[in-house]
Copies of this chain bind each other. A is one copy, B any other.
Amino acid sequence: MNIALVGAGNIAWHLAMALKNTDSPVKEIYNRNRSSAEELAKEAKAKVVLDLKSFSTEIDIIILAVSDEAINEVSAKLNVKPGQIVIHTSGSTEITILKSYFNDYGVLYPLQTFSKAILIDFKNIPVCVEGSTLEVSHKLELVAKLMSNNVLFVNSAQRLALHIAAVFACNFTNHFYSIAAEILSDNDLNFDLIKPLIKETAEKALIISPKEAQTGPAKRNDQITLKKHIKILEKYADWMILYQKISQDIVKISVKNQASHK
């Protein structure tokens, strides 16, 4: 199949790289900012298209790797030929956003955190597909399987839940690494110190359930330590509130679990 790409951001970049050297490489790329499109096109060995109406008739699937709020705008401008499929890559946008613009449409959502600077082995990334028809779903499955060994059908409601879970497990987790980094720096301690802990915490979750893996003062309902920590966090007002709320949540679950074991 012949693939075209709208966008040249993180997801566009990683999709193009994942499809490079497969049977369905990205052949054409459009991006609002032309120089970014040219940069990606060079890497992906694709052609830059100068406006959204100019994708060639050979294209089978147009992937909108754009921000959620640009999906409507881009869709309205596209000039799609019969049989061409248009898909978006958004975790939190329903498939039906594309319904009023196209006959055949779908979603291809790779569940991962993408930074241009970091190379990713796409083969292990779960790629969630949803098609407007069984035929579209099947075609998307074929393309997704070129990129990943972990392809699954996920409907729009599930995909939204998956995206929210990902925000907790990835975005918020990373933000907590940032908070740790700042607290360490304020105390003349190197962020490297905490790296083995970050690594082990993630690796544990891959082996035992996070419920079993939970440790720390809140898990032990150790109020003396919790109070000491909160006292120190007074100078970081926002984080003190977070500390209290999350600790309360962990204490609550821990106390409930203990009661149910009695």
Residue numbers of A with Cβ under 8 A of B are 10, 67-69, 92, 111-115, 117-118, 120, 124-126, 150, 152, 154, 157-158, 160-181, 183-184, 186-189, 191, 193-220, 222, 224-225, 228-229, 232-233, 238-239, 241-243, 245-246, 249-250, 253
A171 and B233 contact, CB distance less than 8 A:
no
Contact B166 A180 (CB under 8 A): yes
B111 and A197 contact, CB distance less than 8 A: yes
Contact A204 B174 (CB under 8 A): yes
Complex contact B249–A175 (CB within 8 A): yes
Which of B117, B175, B196 is within 8 Å of A111, CB to CB?
B196
Q: Nearest residue in B to A245 (C-beta to C-beta)?
A: B242
For the complex, would chain A's binding face be called helix, strand, loop or mixed by DSSP majority?
helix
Complex: A241 Cα to B242 Cα, angstroms: 10
Contact between B211 and A205 (Cβ–Cβ < 8 Å)? Answer: no
| 29 residue pairs bridging A and B, Cβ less than 8 Å apart | A68-B222, A92-B217, A92-B225, A112-B197, A115-B212, A118-B204, A120-B200, A124-B196, A125-B196, A160-B232, A161-B184, A161-B232, A162-B189, A163-B229, A164-B229, A164-B233, A168-B177, A171-B216, A172-B242, A173-B176, A173-B201, A174-B201, A174-B204, A174-B215, A178-B253, A181-B210, A198-B202, A198-B205, A199-B203
* CB of A218 to closest CB in B, whole Å: 7
With A168-B176, A219-B171 in contact, do A113 and B183 touch (Cβ < 8 Å)?
A: no
